[in-house]
């Protein structure tokens, strides 16, 4: 006859429960990390598409990453501009042709999740132009609207 110690069973059950709880927590953390990675990848893709559109001289396509609303905020060297149309018009005024636009390059410094629906991005921009290069920094506030990430505020200097 084999004798089992009740304490052994109790300790075994506690160890099994700790293992199950640990696996559950790791699984939940992994799911959250994967979701955040997916969102960051989507935002990087938007910025890559903006670069392609800018370098093709297509400001209208470039602006599709922005919230098409009068509440869009753009802060640049001239101050605060409200609205998608006003922002597009400023781009057209300041960059009237492909030569003035040059070739754009973004370098992402940080992408921070603020909540399920908001991300904050900090980076550098550089325009290589025959008239002289320009560069600076930017901060963007992205919001998920109708299941699509859009820039709702841009501070570029």
In tens, the pLDDT along 65-122 reads 999 999 999 999 989 999 999 999 999 999 999 999 999 999 999 999 999 999 999 9
CA gap 73, 57 in Å, rounded: 23
Q: What is the pLDDT of residue 31?
A: 53
Residue 7 reports pLDDT greater than 70: no
**Which tokens sit at 10?**
């109790």
Residue 5 to residues 1, 12, 89, Cα–Cα distance (Å) = 13, 11, 81
DSSP β-bridge partners for residue 135: 126
Please spell the DSSP secondary structure of 5-41, one letter per residue.
Answer: -HHHHHHHHHHHHHHHHHHHHHHHHHHHHHHHHHHHH
**CATH code of the domain made up of 6-156:** 3.10.450.50
pTM above the 0.85 mark? no
Do 106 and 124 meet the contact criterion of CB atoms below 8 Å apart?
Answer: yes
CA gap 144, 150 in Å, rounded: 6
Question: What DSSP element (H or E) covers 60?
Answer: helix 59-62
CA gap 37, 87 in Å, rounded: 30
CA gap 2, 62 in Å, rounded: 76
Straight-line distance from the first to the last Cα atom of the chain, in angstroms, rounded to the nearest whole number = 82
Q: How confident is the model at residue 37 (pLDDT cuts 50, 70, 90)?
A: confident
Q: What is the pLDDT of residue 36?
A: 75
């Amino acid at each position: 006859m084999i004798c089992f110690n009740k304490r052994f069973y109790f300790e075994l059950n506690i160890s099994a429960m700790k293992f199950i709880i640990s696996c559950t927590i790791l699984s939940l953390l992994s799911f959250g990390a994967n979701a955040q990675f997916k969102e960051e990848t989507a935002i990087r893709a938007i910025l890559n598409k903006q670069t392609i559109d800018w370098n093709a001289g297509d400001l209208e396509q470039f602006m599709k990453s922005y919230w098409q609303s009068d509440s869009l905020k753009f802060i640049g060297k001239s101050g605060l501009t409200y609205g998608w149309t006003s922002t597009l018009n400023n781009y057209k005024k300041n960059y009237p042709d492909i030569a003035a636009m040059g070739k754009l390059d973004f370098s992402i410094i940080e992408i921070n999740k603020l909540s399920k629906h908001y991300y904050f991005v900090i980076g550098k921009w550089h325009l290589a132009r025959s008239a002289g290069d320009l560069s600076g920094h930017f901060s963007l506030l992205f919001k998920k609207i109708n299941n699509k990430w859009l820039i709702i505020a841009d501070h570029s200097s």
